[in-house]
A and B are shown apart, each in its own frame.
Chain A
Amino acid sequence: MSEKRKRILFIWIGSLITSFICLTPFFWMIIVSFAKFPNFLASKEIPFIFTLQHYREVIGTHDLHVMNYFKNSLIVAVVVTVLAVTIASVAAYAVSRIKFRGKVFIIIGILAVSMFPQISIVGYLFKLMTKIGWINTYQALIFPYTAWVMPISLWILVSYFSQLPIDLDEAAMLDGATRMQTLIKVIIPLAAPGVFSTSLLVFISAFNEFMFALLLTSDYHARTIPVGIALFEGLHGEIPWGQIMATSAIASIPLVILTLIFQRYIVQGLTAGAIKG
């Protein structure tokens, strides 16, 4: 067999295996969410019957609070994204454009923080949030999340901002623009792909976060959807797999769609964050 043939065979068989591995669990979640009897594999007597019942239940049953969790997750993730990208852009501008003392120290300090495990701050955060009465509120999640995504956001944005020639700033300022105007009207529009990549990554990580949300929220007023799924209790005993998978599908589909549409930006963001250092 020629090398060319071998290569083509590798690509096609490889694609098949890759698709099987990556898609099977995802499809299984979808299939079970539509199965009238989620245990239909248990024996031949149990048939697979298509139903929308689980979706109807998790969306319609108020006591399950799935829609509350979903709304909470969306609100928290959107606010965190806006806050984090704003704060990190301003900081990235200073780091990539202005000379000042202590720059290296500050950058290393912020990046070193990304090594810490969540467990090393969650206990303190719980005590703090209890003391100031923020347990089970959005702000109890929004501020720690925003702090938590700072290192990666700063890293990605600096790597994008640094690629823009400094002459741009100088030209803008010669025309009388202030530093802030330069950032908003020149740098951010030119680094838009980077800002967008950062926003996507921040949104996804805020939407998916689990440990903080588990300890800092206590019910549907602030509980996010990952915690809701992890602690899912049916209304009638027995593990309600149909409802859990329907909720899981509802939680994943926005992220999967975002990823499929903006695949290019996510890949760029991930690699900028990891490799350009």
Chain B
Amino acid sequence: MKKRGQRRKEGGSLKYKRREERLAYLLLAPIILLVGGLILVPIVGTLISSFYRNITFLPPVKFIGLGNYKRLFSDLNFWHSVFITVGFTVVSVLLESILGMFYALIIHEKFRLRGIMRAIVLIPWAIPTIVSAKTWQLIYNYNYGLLNYLFMRIHLSSHPINWLGSPMSAFTSIVIADVWKTAPFMAILFLAGLQSIPESIYEAARVDGASMTQEFFKITLPLLRPVIIIALIFRTIDSLRIFDLIYVLTGGGPAGSTSSISVYGFKAYILGDFGYGSSVSVFTFLLIFLFTVIYLKLGRFREGLKNE
């Protein structure tokens, strides 16, 4: 026994090393098979399928090269969905960062109700997206929705608003519902960041007579920067693929005006147009990839500046 252990510590013989490697591959086999077979293969399949004309109700399947992409680039409805997706991502990620920061600052404070407040903040996160989409749909209801009721009660508006009825207000409605659902996630990440800032820094600042606002802008925000960047990357990637909320809350309407790219692609699949749906899917992926690269480049660029 002792001999074997000894050998291991010294780095071991070649035979031992090989055995360890083989074991590692064996342990990783299930995850590689799953991810490879059910994610990577489908992605390559989608890529290939995007070069084919493949419509369930109009056979045959035919290779058409870049045909689907040509159609995609001249499809105004598609570009509108790209515009909506990017606009939605920018607005809602920004708003949920601000709201998430607000939540985080509160649940970071030491006070009697902190435990309860942490639980309350997590509730929107815990509720299934579909449930929140349906609940918001009811809240936005023209005739008996809570939002119109409150707006009329506090005289914000003299007449009921048709929240889901016009393109602009439907977009706003989606943003509100999404920010409500996702700000808690931001708050949790920011909270972890806040907890890693040593209390002594604040104490020193307070001795020097710093105000709360100064503390936030001069200490908290700069020190949180790495966490903020990570949170932004996570949420941006997630927002760019938004589907559930829009599909259920507005169905992409009115008249397709709030379709995200994922909703647009999904509708192509539902119509049985797999080739075209695939090209939309490939585009979505490329867009996400582009955004991630931009974020990473920006992060590295700033770091480079700092090092100089």
Contact = CB atoms under 8 A, between A and B. Distances in A.
Interface of A: 3, 6-7, 10-11, 14-15, 18-19, 21-26, 28-29, 32, 38-42, 87-88, 90-91, 93-95, 98-101, 103, 106, 109-110, 113, 115-128, 143-144, 146-148, 150-151, 154, 170, 173-176, 179, 204, 207-208, 210-211, 214-215, 225-227, 229-230, 232, 241, 244-245, 248, 251-252, 255-256, 258-260, 263, 266-267, 270-271, 274-275, 277
B122 A259 contact: yes
B227 A275 contact: yes
Contacts of A176: 1
B123 interface: yes
B252 interface: no
A256 B133 CA distance: 16
Interface string B13-24: 000010011011
Interface size range of chain B in the complex: 35 or more
Nearest to B284: A117
Chain A CB within 10 A, most for which of B27, B193, B206, B243? B27
Contacts, number: 291
A22 B184 contact: yes
Contact of A147 (B34, B244, B278): B34
Contacts of B184: 22
Chain B CB within 10 A, most for which of A113, A126, A147, A255? A147
Interface string B270-308: 100010011011101100110010000000000000000
B143 interface: yes
A271 B248 contact: no
A117 B130 contact: no
Given A251-B128, A275-B189, A123 B281 contact: yes
A271 B125 contact: no
B39 to A, nearest CB: 5
Interface in B169-199: 180, 184-185, 188-189, 191-193
Contact of A123 (B103, B240, B278): B278
B139 interface: yes
A151 B241 CA distance: 17
A143 B270 CA distance: 22
B30 interface: yes
A93 to B, nearest CB: 6
26 contacts: A3-B211, A3-B212, A10-B106, A15-B106, A15-B117, A22-B184, A25-B132, A26-B135, A40-B144, A41-B146, A91-B30, A94-B27, A100-B24, A119-B262, A121-B39, A123-B46, A148-B38, A154-B31, A210-B247, A214-B247, A226-B128, A229-B128, A229-B131, A245-B138, A248-B131, A263-B122
Given A15-B117, A42-B143, A211-B243, A244 B134 contact: yes
Given A11-B111, A123-B281, A22 B134 contact: no
Interface string B76-119: 00000000000000000000000100110110010101010111
Nearest to A211: B243
